[in-house]
Chain A
Amino acid sequence: MTRYGSTTATNPREAADWSTGRVIRTNLRAVVGRAYPRVIGLTREPSWLFFEIFLPFLAVSAFVFVYRALEAPEAFIGFVVLGGAMTSFWLNVVWMMAAQFYWEKDQGNLELYFTAPMHLMSILAGMAIGGLVMTSSRALAVIGIGSLLYGVTYDVQQPFLLAGVFLLTMIPLYGMGMLFASLFLLWGREAFHLAQLLQEPIYFLGGVNFPLRAIGPVAGVVVATLPLGVGLDAMRQLAFADSGVEGVLPVGPEVLILSAMGVVFLVAARLALGYLETLARREGRLTLRWQ
């Protein structure tokens, strides 16, 4: 007779028959466990702190100086600072969500995730929550330092709506990261290069350094597909209400689009994960490093 968890089971089948409460508790523990290293890394890994603030700040500074050289209105400096802060989240999504399963496979953790008694969505949710907390501190630092150093003035007339739009942007953004985590794993060795590929082109399409309307009709496609672009467009309208620069759409429709994107990306991530799991078990590629 073997003891599994808190109850004594007479056979493995009985031991595997968990109550709903136990399933939920185990998955919540997995979420907390996977979020923990990212949250605790806030204080334990100073090099992360340096690079995740310093690198976006360098890029922000370069674009601020370009606008200064072009004698642009001051609101554009604010656009760049806000865009720079949001790139921290995008980098986190690309490198620490999308590419993460690939790294985990290289390090031998992925097979443990698959065999552990919790859903992989819990691992992804933990990664997302931990990453969100960790990156928020970096983004706030970029906004704080950038605003002070470059004298950005904000005109926020609806602070709660701005906070709501930010949180609403994070759901599809990290949902996209969850979806990419499965896809990157399927694409194998291309993960590093694909992560690289999702930087400058996305900064360009997402209007990170300029109002999204400036890219013309392509902005419509971006609003329909890229959470970073549509969220940033809405946040700029709310944070710089007096700038006179119009968004691609008013804030209301952009909020609806973000909500829909949140649902679509989370469902797609769930489906992709199921497909990945089936494929990985069938083809036995979970333990193949560097593939």
Chain B
Amino acid sequence: MAVIDRAEPVRGITLADAWRSFRTAIGLGWAIESNWSDPFLFAVYTMAKPLAAAGILVVMFQVITQGANPEFLQFLIVGSALWNVVFGVMSGLVQSILEDRERYRMIKYVVVTPTGLFPFLLGRSLARVLVSFVAVVLTMLVGVLFLDVELRPNLLYLVPATVLGVVAVIALGVFMAGWCLQLRQEAWSYPEAIAGALYLISGAIFPIDILPSFLHPIAYASPTTWWLEASRRGLLGHGSPGALGGISDGMVLLLLAVSTAIAVPVALAAFAWFMQRARRAGLLDMTTGS
């Protein structure tokens, strides 16, 4: 039978559509992240990595200082704990997009749905982000209970700093996800490489004054530097040792807001361009075998 009636035009994507896609992707992401094992092993996996990473730093600190300079230990614990979020967000976004392209081969179908990839990607990676927040809480808890870390939270400062920081880190992750779609091979290693480089320059576990001077401008330009600094002030009541510690609280928050305000539109524009290029070059259904 011939089709004589024209189909109804597809209506524009509404917020409700995007929300539905986001919510479904959260469930999918959680299932993929957690159903590979029984709850006990999953809990061990969630706890062992961040605690071991913090443990390495604590032992290094104890070996050298024999427990002197507790402020530096607090600096280490908070930096090490919060870094789980940076790594969780970046690897979550990148691995979600790569797994759906390379392994499950679903990304092309998601892209052609009316809501598109973006809300799906955010929801799909949220499980890893949540797990990374569990790691933050756990590391801080161990710090408080066993290592005499004294928390003096200032919520009026901490909450906006956390919101801005997480938005900035998600922006970096979105940029990375788009970028990794363009890569031929080894895209899986990029989040680790970029997160590792940021770890080095953001003052996560040592004051940025220790870095060679040519890296200082990059450190000051990174939103992760200001997020960690603002979070330390919001959690501990004092900043990092060194030059960053001398900057006022208001200025640190302002610099975090400015760097986030730059990072977000740049990341969104880059992601849109990367997606356009991926469509044109046929990268959405490509498998690299990596």
Interface residues of A (CB under 8 A from B): 45, 47-48, 51, 54-55, 58-59, 61-63, 65-72, 76, 107, 189-190, 193, 196-197, 199-201, 203-205, 208-211, 214-215, 290
Kindly state the separation between the CA atoms of A62 and B48 in the bound complex, as whole angstroms. 21
Q: Does B273 lie at the interface of the complex (its beta carbon under 8 Å from any beta carbon of A)? A: no
Most buried by B among A45, A62, A189, A215: A62
Contact A55 B196 (CB under 8 A): yes
Partner of B186, one of A48, A65, A200, A211: A48
* Shortest Cβ gap from A240 to chain B (Å): 14
* Shortest Cβ gap from A62 to chain B (Å): 5
* Shortest Cβ gap from A197 to chain B (Å): 5
Kindly state the separation between the CA atoms of A48 and B289 in the bound complex, as whole angstroms. 14
Q: Does B59 lie at the interface of the complex (its beta carbon under 8 Å from any beta carbon of A)? A: yes
Q: Does B145 lie at the interface of the complex (its beta carbon under 8 Å from any beta carbon of A)? A: no
Q: Does B193 lie at the interface of the complex (its beta carbon under 8 Å from any beta carbon of A)? A: yes
Kindly state the separation between the CA atoms of A41 and B57 in the bound complex, as whole angstroms. 35
Contact A55 B207 (CB under 8 A): no
Contact A69 B186 (CB under 8 A): no
Kindly state the separation between the CA atoms of A49 and B103 in the bound complex, as whole angstroms. 24
Kindly state the separation between the CA atoms of A189 and B31 in the bound complex, as whole angstroms. 13
Contact A76 B37 (CB under 8 A): no
**Chain A residues within 8 Å of B45, by CB:** 193, 196-197
Residue of A with least CB distance to B211: A65
**Chain A residues within 8 Å of B160, by CB:** none
Main SS at interface, chain A:
helix
Binds A, one of B61-69, B149-157, B222-230: B61-69
* Shortest Cβ gap from B52 to chain A (Å): 4
Q: A69-B72, A199-B49 are in contact. Are A63 and B207 (CB under 8 A)?
A: no
Q: A66-B206, A70-B72 are in contact. Are A47 and B186 (CB under 8 A)?
A: yes
Contact B193 A215 (CB under 8 A): no
Contact B64 A55 (CB under 8 A): no
Q: List 7 A-B contacts (CB under 8 A).
A: A48-B186, A51-B193, A66-B205, A196-B49, A197-B48, A204-B55, A215-B59
**Chain B residues within 8 Å of A68, by CB:** 206, 210
Q: Does B281 lie at the interface of the complex (its beta carbon under 8 Å from any beta carbon of A)? A: no
Kindly state the separation between the CA atoms of A204 and B53 in the bound complex, as whole angstroms. 7
Q: A58-B199, A65-B210 are in contact. Are A210 and B59 (CB under 8 A)?
A: yes
Kindly state the separation between the CA atoms of A59 and B56 in the bound complex, as whole angstroms. 12
Contact B59 A214 (CB under 8 A): yes
